[in-house]
A = this chain, B = another copy of it.
């Protein structure tokens, strides 16, 4: 995160009208959130103009977000052929204030708007799928069989430019009103995070295949 940080230009949609101090347009911060998340929520409007939402895996590849799924997945096909909004949310803490009103979450979220473009070039598609596996479990691409032609054909890959994007971040203790400070209630933050347990081998795993280091040492929170 050293060096010059690139600031992203806000648009009408990404500029925060409320609590603007929580808005972040620093590309390095946005990328770090995208890199830590495991799933995103894709929002799109169907042909009748009704809202749809789809949780799915993804990966960041430089300045674009990669999405993938089965060609038989009608919801994904609809999402990938329309304008979409993608949200990645990391929950960091439960903020307990003296007043119910000032309760909050500590979180880091990214919202990204755009229209995905299908990745059709075979080599590019293979690289994108490898990137998605590596995003979820770094080291795993070399520890599994790459897609064959049939699997590649059955998979749709799309890329969304990370351009119209912003992050929102809340950190730190609760902020109570002055007159509530002496109420005697406990106040503070319960930190939360996604933790991984030791890998559970598949029941049909042949004896003698030990979990690789990227499984034994799996840990998500990068910060």
A181 within 8 A of B: yes
Checking B145, B188, B191, B192 against A98 with a beta-carbon cut-off of 8 angstroms, the contacting residue is: B145
A8 within 8 A of B: no
Q: How far is the CA of A98 from the CA of B57 in the complex (A)?
A: 18
Instruction: Please tell me if the beta carbons of A143 and B185 are within 8 angstroms of each other in the complex.
Output: yes
Instruction: Please tell me if the beta carbons of B196 and A218 are within 8 angstroms of each other in the complex.
Output: no
Checking B54, B107, B144, B188 against A55 with a beta-carbon cut-off of 8 angstroms, the contacting residue is: B107
Q: Please, could you name 17 A-B residue pairs with CB atoms under 8 Å apart, sorted by A?
A: A38-B91, A39-B105, A43-B53, A53-B85, A99-B151, A100-B141, A103-B133, A145-B180, A145-B185, A181-B204, A184-B209, A186-B209, A186-B210, A187-B201, A187-B204, A190-B200, A191-B196
Instruction: Please tell me if the beta carbons of A99 and B147 are within 8 angstroms of each other in the complex.
Output: yes
A129 within 8 A of B: yes
Q: Main secondary structure on chain A at its contact with chain B?
A: mixed
Copies in the complex: 2
Q: How far is the CA of A186 from the CA of B215 in the complex (A)?
A: 9
- Chain B residues near A34: list those with CB within 8 A: none
Instruction: Please tell me if the beta carbons of B192 and A220 are within 8 angstroms of each other in the complex.
Output: yes
Q: Which 8 interchain pairs have the tightest Cβ spacing?
A: A43-B53, A43-B43, A41-B41, A191-B197, A173-B202, A195-B195, A101-B151, A45-B45
Q: How far is the CA of A174 from the CA of B206 in the complex (A)?
A: 14
A109 within 8 A of B: yes
Instruction: Please tell me if the beta carbons of B187 and A197 are within 8 angstroms of each other in the complex.
Output: no
Known: A51-B43, A109-B55, A111-B53. A129 touches B147 (CB 8 A): no
Q: How far is the CA of A50 from the CA of B70 in the complex (A)?
A: 24
A1 within 8 A of B: no
Q: How far is the CA of A87 from the CA of B54 in the complex (A)?
A: 8
Known: A38-B91, A191-B196, A205-B188. A52 touches B85 (CB 8 A): yes
Which among A45, A100, A180, A184 has the greatest number of chain B C-beta atoms within 10 A? A100
Instruction: Please tell me if the beta carbons of A186 and B174 are within 8 angstroms of each other in the complex.
Output: no
Instruction: Please tell me if the beta carbons of B185 and A189 are within 8 angstroms of each other in the complex.
Output: no
Nearest B residue to A82 via CB reads B51
